[in-house]
Amino acid sequence: MLNSIINAFTKGDIKGLDAKLLHSAYWSQHNAKLYGSEKLNTIVGNFLSLVGKVTIIPRQSIRQDNYYVIHLVLEPENSSSNVNYILWLETDQQLIKSVNSIIDTVQLATLSNLSVQSISDNLPTADPLVISDYDQQDHLQNELAWPSNLITGNDKKIKILDQWWSIWIQRQLANIDKVYAENALVSLPGQAEQSNRQGIFDFVLSVTSKLTRVFTQIEDIVIEDTHVAIKWFLDGDESSAKVRLPFFTVLEIDNGQIVSDTTVCDILSFNKYFNQSRIFDHISPDL
């Protein structure tokens, strides 16, 4: 599966990737869910036309049961920096049933020498939010999920993951220095350079301080050895608009601390759909 994905994005081998997908499979990217032949033609075709040839480095793969999370790093030609791309696959162990993926579009624009506007213009229209699904601040449909609610057994990482989640769900920023190693490698949305614990502090505040009625929820967790992948989202009100930010986070935990954190969200797709939002003005001011 991994080789088929890499070959599609580096060589344009759409047929090879299509052979790994069930006929009923969908591919969700840029907050739009695509079915049928359009899913590959749109996602892979648009990528190749915008970016051209890239080198793809498999940074991390995490498997648990029927789920397979892949963190790829894209290296555009003539650039020394990287683009984070995380794919969350559901499989039947042989074929892919669904793909949810997030690529850091601000990194993509920056590192491929394309303007933010040119990337944004080529993004598909995002699927609309359904209010009954969205407005859980007032109409909670499920219990607030903590990692400890979703992880079975006595995994030693449960405590550290609950402390990590408190940073977002409770804005418990004091936990950042507790759960992250001093020299932790941190990659945050829209940032080309590696960040650190202070960068996490600033990023959490930059997002949540612009919203009211903030609501965060974990959708799924995949764990293998020292690596953890979390699919989660953040909802809130910005002025009179309801907004949603989907995230993927891949963590590495060693000796009771987080030593690596790669978090991605699709900022340009978010800005295109919520075109009055000012959350990411400091990252993509020219959109």
Q: Is residue 280 part of a domain?
A: no
The proportion of the chain whose per-residue pLDDT surpasses 90, expressed as a percent, equals: 59
139 and 194 together in one domain: yes
Among 76, 98, 121, the domain boundary falls at 121
pLDDT grade, residue 109 (50/70/90)? confident
Any idea which of 14-23, 32-41, 61-70, 174-183 has the lowest mean pLDDT?
Answer: 32-41
If one counts every other C-beta atom within 10 angstroms of the C-beta of residue 39, the result is: 21
DSSP secondary structure, 192-224, as one string: SS-B-HHHHHHHHHHHHTT-EEEEEEEEEEEEE
Q: Is residue 281 part of a domain?
A: no
Count of domains for the chain: 2
Q: Is residue 138 part of a domain?
A: yes
| pLDDT (tens digit per residue) in 4-26 | 999 988 888 888 998 999 989 99
pLDDT, residue 10, reads 86
165 and 100 together in one domain: no
Residue 215 lies in domain = 131-273
| pLDDT (tens digit per residue) in 30-40 | 999 988 767 77
| pLDDT (tens digit per residue) in 114-163 | 788 888 888 888 888 765 555 555 544 456 789 999 998 777 899 999 99
Among 121, 140, 157, the domain boundary falls at 121
pLDDT, the chain, mean: 88
138 and 269 together in one domain: yes
267 and 167 together in one domain: yes
Claim: this prediction has a pTM higher than 0.85? yes
Among 64, 91, 121, the domain boundary falls at 121
Compute the half-sphere exposure of residue 182: CA atoms within 13 Å on the CB side of its CA. 0
The proportion of the chain whose per-residue pLDDT surpasses 70, expressed as a percent, equals: 91
